[in-house]
Amino acid sequence: MKIPDLKKKMMESEVWKSIFRHGYEDTPRNRALMIMGNVFLHLHPVRIPRHALRLSFTWGMGGITFTMFLVTVATGIFLMLYYRPTAEYAYQDMKYLMHDVPFGPLIRNMHRWAAHGMVICVWLHMFRVFLTGSYKPPREFNWIIGVLLLVLTLLLSFTGYLLPWDQLSIWAVTVGSNMARASPFLGHEGPFAEFVGANPIYDARAFLFGGGEIGPHTLLRFYILHCIFIPLVASLLMAIHFWRIRRDSFSGPSL
Amino acid sequence: MAETAQEKRKPSMVDDKIYTWPHLVRMEFLLTIFVMVVLIIWAVVIDAPLEEPANPTRTPNPSKAPWYFLGLQEMLVYFDPWHAGVVLPTLIIVGLMMIPFIDINPKGNGYYTFKDRKYEILTFILGFHVLWVSMIIIGTFFRGPGWNLFWPWQRWDPHKVVALTNVDLPYLFGFRDYLWSSVFGGLVVVGYFVVSTLAFYLWIRRVKGKEFLERWGMVRFAITAFLFITMLALPAKMFLRLAFNVKYILVTPWFNI
């Protein structure tokens, strides 16, 4: 049997047809099916305004931010294989990753730089959306989702900052978390703390740390927030964010 | 930015929509490849930092938050932690979420224009570029031991002596009594908001007109005025600190501003 015959037979088999609903014919119908028939692509509209494709309009920042997120997810899973979130092992595992694991340094560096890149790109994305006024009706709510995603991006990066368990991590997180200690009412060093009885082991920062100061409990807490909770919430909001672009259509001058 | 060139482009009446497949998907694919290439090269060339093991008994000087929070840490120089670390970040987030509801200018929806949205864009640039980003740059590159100012090429001298000559504003005006200092400070803070709100109102009426204010409504005006004036309080306090060594404006037993 020749290759083309084999290909034809394969593509007409029941199994193939059960997986792939349509081929690659270059017809408007098929182009629409390509988007609608795909769970990931269907978050896009089937057709978009020509100007929304231009990089000079979008700067590509939303897409780049999402790409960075996917990179951190993929590299993050790899890192989880070699990392134990306990004070005894965390730092040793980092050393192991950086010196003995094949491609360990590359994966960790990618994870780190993609996370930083994500923060920068999400800010630039916000600036671009502001400049093009793309938050104006009917897209007000998507801007709010975007602000929440910006906050979650910062929190993702911040919780990940602690995990290497080196001097840089714990002191940066200490400084960054001291604001929780200073919250009015809820932090033991904040105004009016005495009225609610907040103290060093029972206040907003202790809730975040799982204790009065950074320790093994904090590491586990940040690990779970970093690897499970925040990514889940962020993914959910991203799905809404993209879906909303489709529902409300790309912004552009009204015709 | 290219606002001026873009705004000349008049929207045409023809339906100029294109198919997402292949146009947008191809663009996303190429952009992803581009990002991956840049990222991989970057990751090969530059190692992520890994310092010595965590040691809760050895505090580095300076201890810096992650760079994206250094704007907040820099604000700690001018405000107390409850204000710089909690109230202002909350207002930044809430204020950002408010933007679509307080900006009722129908122009500039979906295209670049500076002329039609001068004040909106300038306000954003003031908040984002001038305050947020520049404070991050100061915090990252210009702060050394003791959170003192150093040039990036200067050696970090941990024994640098900086005179602590800051005094509270009421003290500067001759108030020595605790109670009257608080009263005076409170009046200054309230006065700042009242006078600024009034000035903001007059300014809006001059540049946008009375008719705009009526359309804008009381609630939108009040929220915008409060957020804008609170934002301006940061450069105002920075100026008082740098020019007159003012530490606090309002001192109370519970909190200071």
Give the domain ranges of chain B.
67-105+115-155+165-244
Q: Where are the alpha helices (DSSP H) in chain B?
A: 3-7, 25-45, 70-75, 81, 88-102, 118-125, 134-141, 169-172, 178-208, 210-216, 218-244
pLDDT of residue A253: 64
pLDDT tens digits along B207-244: 888 899 999 999 999 999 999 999 999 999 999 988 88
pLDDT of residue B21: 85
Which residues from A are below 8 Å from B3, CB to CB? 131
Which residues from B are below 8 Å from A180, CB to CB? 86
Q: Which residue has the higher pLDDT, B8 or B151?
A: B151
Do the chains contact at A171 and B63, CB–CB below 8 Å? yes
- Between CA B168 and CA A121 the distance in angstroms is 41
Any idea which of A188-202, B180-194, B226-240 has the lowest mean pLDDT? A188-202
Do the chains contact at A255 and B81, CB–CB below 8 Å? no
Question: Confidence band (pLDDT; 50, 70, 90) for A90?
Answer: very high
pLDDT at B48 over 80: yes
pLDDT of residue A254: 54
- In chain A, ranges of CATH 1.20.810.10 domains: 57-248
Give the chain B residue nearest A250 (alpha carbons): B110
How far is CA B60 from each of CA A101, A168, A219, B54, rounded to the nearest angstrom? 30, 9, 20, 11
Report the CATH superfamily, name and number, of domain A57-248.
Cytochrome Bc1 Complex; Chain C (1.20.810.10)
Q: What is the mean pLDDT of residues A93-97?
A: 95
Do the chains contact at B65 and A172, CB–CB below 8 Å? yes
Best to test chain B binding among A179, A208, A218 (most B CBs inside 10 Å): A179
pLDDT tens digits along A22-55: 877 888 888 888 888 888 888 888 888 888 888 8
- Between CA A96 and CA A100 the distance in angstroms is 5
- Between CA B213 and CA B52 the distance in angstroms is 59
Q: What average pLDDT is seen over chain B?
A: 87
Give the chain A residue nearest B80 (alpha carbons): A182
pLDDT of residue B15: 66
Which residues from B are below 8 Å from A178, CB to CB? 81, 85
Give the chain A residue nearest B129 (alpha carbons): A127
pLDDT of residue B200: 94
Q: What percentage of residues in chain B have a pLDDT greater than 90?
A: 47
pLDDT tens digits along A102-116: 999 999 999 999 999
Q: What is the mean pLDDT of residues B73-77?
A: 89
Q: What average pLDDT is seen over chain A?
A: 90
pLDDT of residue B40: 96
This prediction has a pTM of 0.90
Q: Which residue has the higher pLDDT, B109 or B140?
A: B140
Question: Confidence band (pLDDT; 50, 70, 90) for B8?
Answer: very low
Q: How far is A1 from chain B (nearest CA, A)?
A: 34
pLDDT tens digits along A160-170: 999 999 999 99
pLDDT at B14 over 70: no
Q: How far is B113 from chain A (nearest CA, A)?
A: 7
Q: What is the mean pLDDT of residues B39-65?
A: 92
What type of residue sits at position A172?
A
- Between CA B247 and CA A40 the distance in angstroms is 55
